[in-house]
Every structure is written in C-alpha cells, then in structure tokens.
Structure 1
C-alpha cells in the first residue's frame, strides 16, 4: 500500500488492532514509505520559521518516530540533538538513519529530562495524545527546557465545516472511537483532539508564554487564513 515499499493492507490491519507502541514497532521498517511520515515541506517550513529565532544549543524531538525531525533540528542546534520515543522499532530505524544523534526510549507523558535543551519540537504525534494527557506532556517539555527555551510545532487550520476533509476526519475519529470501545488494547489516533485554543490554554498552564507565526511555505486557505501556523511556546528566562 502507498508504494511498493510501503505496508500492505494486512500489515496495516494488524497494526491498527495492536496497541500504539506495538503498532509502531510493527510499522517501523516501512514507516518512511507511508503518508504518515511528516512531509519534508512541513519540516522545511518549520525550519524556516525557527531559523530567525536561533541559534540554539541542544535540541529535542518529542515523539521522534524514525527521526524525520532531525531535518529541522540538525542544522539549527549547535550542540547536538536528541530524539525520544516509546517505540523501540521506530528508534531502531532512527538510529540507523541518524547515527550522530542521541536516542532515548521513554514515554512523552513522563519525559526523563531536566533543563537540558534549548529547543524542543514535535511532529505528527498530536493524535496519539488524548486531551487529558496534554498537561503531562507539556509539563515534561517545560521541565526539559533550559530557561528561555522554546517549544515549537506546526498546527494546521481546521478544515471548513461541511468540506470533504471535515467529514473525512470526523468519520475517521468516529471509527476509531468505536474500535477502541470494542477492542483492546486501544489504538489512540484521532485528528480532532487538539483544537488551538485548548492547546494554548494547556501550554500557558504549563508555564509557557505562547505566540504563533504564519508558515508561508505551506500556503493559505481560500478564506486567506494560513493553512498552518507555527506555535511557539517560550519558557521564561
């Protein structure tokens, strides 16, 4: 599926009926050949938005997967980069692709760092974190950053109500809720659980000051609004 090197429908079905951790362990060898990997265009737009705010010392990629975020952190962070993920399979692929980085297996809801980083990013993991889990994740990132450190991630504009994308995402989330109600272990993956206002409130509650920047490389919607914004959460100096 997706390409000759991507997973088959059977492999995706087995993944979807597993836990999040086990599912990504299974998918890891073919993950970079699926649409689930963060596109380079989003990574490059993030790097463009962060470049004027640097230089940075040490960088952290939260829920790093196979290491796509190194495309952003590598050129921006002078003192090295670390990726953290709870899937051993994804980390194994990341180590192969980026042997110069540090890789740590840990749960994003309980990050094992204290004032070690100047920049933290995350890509593509929002749907795997329930709203009730955001405060623990944001508190852990805040703790991991040095004073004045920055936590940044792109966040997409919600699709217009009634659009094909709106109904597709609504339908996907509904199917996942039914799946998790009748099957164990749950596979947490939702598209509509990180509304901007709620995310901002949780970041502020964790101790960050929050601002946003447009991401011109990713274009604008028909109503003129940016398709994506770069959310910038700063820890007090």
Structure 2
C-alpha cells in the first residue's frame, strides 16, 4: 500500500518477540502494507450497516492503529473523529494520514473519556485483550458514550472446521500460547478467545443492550447501545 514494502520475516520475528506496544511501534511504518490492516471492504460494509442506526455526530476509534477506522468515522460522523491507541509509532502514522483527527495515546483498558461520543468503533483489536480484560475495555467504552450511543463491532464470519482458515487460526493461537509460556514480555494476540456468546455476555454485563445487523458476504455488525436516559 502506498508504495511501502511490507515487513521482512526478520522484522516480523523481532516484533513477535517484543511486547505488544513495542512490537507495534516497530511495525507501524510498514503496517499498512501487511494483511493485518483492516481491509477497505470491511470498512465499506461497516459504513453501510451503520446507516440504519445513525446519524452520528462524534466518533471514537478504539485501538486505532494507523487510522483505518478514522477513515470510516470521517464519513459516518459530522464532527472530527478521535482515535486512541497506546502505540506511539502507530499514532504517528495515523497523524500523517489523518491530520484533522484528534489522537490520544492511552490504554484501551482505561479510556480517559466521559459521555463524549455517540459512536465508538473498533476493528480487529479484540484479540489483544485476554477474556478477563474485556470487562474494563467495555466499561470504558460505555463511559465514553453518550446515553443512547452505539458501540459498533464488525465481526467476520467464523470459519468452519472443514475450512483451512479454521486450522490456520487455531494453529496461530496455539503457537502464541507456547510463545507466551516460554518468552517474556508476552505478546497478546489471539483469534479464538472472543466467541460471540462471550462477547454478548460481557457487553450485557457492562450495561449495553445488544443487537446485530447483517453484513452480507462479510459477517455481522454487533450494535451495543448504551441505554438512553
């Protein structure tokens, strides 16, 4: 993307043996040239699915990375968007791509916002949170939303055991568990630690009402709403 060559195998190995924050600082300049960047078709499907739940004034992208979600918010909301991430390197890239956005460096498990947004989005970040960390994450998103506001989580259709992707993701998670058992600092990134029923239960526990909107050909958009009033 943008003429930037992707990371080498050596660079990916160094990242994988770093902490999450340091790893993404290292990867940031080449992140948009990797398969880990949220694809444009996912952003487009999310915008389409959100239309029936808006309009929205002010939006926040949690774990914004290089700012793929900011591009969505620039189209889906009427005010300048905000992105939050704890990687300074990723925020530097996001600032170059989205100079009009408000960018905040913070841990998503302790979001520093209070009733400031009517739309919060997050793309591909849930794997960076252990199951017990979703509570603080969702509590912070709930506080950041105005009453009646929406937390939108796009979810791709999960592969079946008969599909190669299922075993690829399962193998990746197993490799990460082995890595984290024998190496410090840990690098938390798992694909199969946030199944749909667990997400719904944690969102309900944070106070959200939860529904879904289909995204044909992609999966579904989880709409977690902070109750009005």
TM-score, normalised relative to structure 2: 0.96
Comparing 45-54 with 90-99, greater Cα deviation is found at: 45-54
Partner of 1:118: 118
Partner of 2:202: 202
Distance 2:33 2:166 in 1: 25
Could you say what secondary structure the match of 1:155 adopts?
A: strand
Partner of 1:135: 135
Partner of 1:23: 23
TM-score, normalised relative to structure 1: 0.93
Could you say what secondary structure the match of 1:69 adopts?
A: helix
Partner of 2:80: 80
2:222 maps to 1:231: yes
Comparing 55-64 with 156-165, greater Cα deviation is found at: 156-165
Post-superposition shift, 1:4? 6.5
Give runs of aligned pairs for residues 166-177 of structure 1, distance below 5 A. Answer: 166-177=166-177
Distance 1:118 1:95 in 2: 22
Partner of 2:51: 51
Distance 2:158 2:8 in 1: 30
Partner of 1:68: 68
Contact 2:4–2:30, Cα closer than 8 Å, also in 1:
no
In structure 1, runs of 5+ residues without a counterpart are 220-226
Could you say what secondary structure the match of 1:150 adopts?
A: strand
Count of residues paired in the alignment: 226
Distance 2:212 2:55 in 1: 19
Post-superposition shift, 1:72? 1.2
Indicate the RMSD between aligned Cα atoms, in angstroms: 1.1
Partner of 1:211: 211
Post-superposition shift, 1:78? 1.0
Post-superposition Cα deviations, 1:115-165, rounded to whole Å, max 9, x if no partner, equal 000100000111111111001100000000000000001112221124211
Distance 2:71 2:47 in 1: 8
Partner of 1:224: none
Give runs of aligned pairs for residues 26-45 of structure 1, distance below 5 A. Answer: 26-45=26-45
Distance 1:134 1:38 in 2: 21
2:96 maps to 1:108: no
Distance 1:57 1:71 in 2: 15
Partner of 1:91: 91
In structure 2, runs of 5+ residues without a counterpart are none
Distance 1:76 1:189 in 2: 29
Partner of 2:155: 155
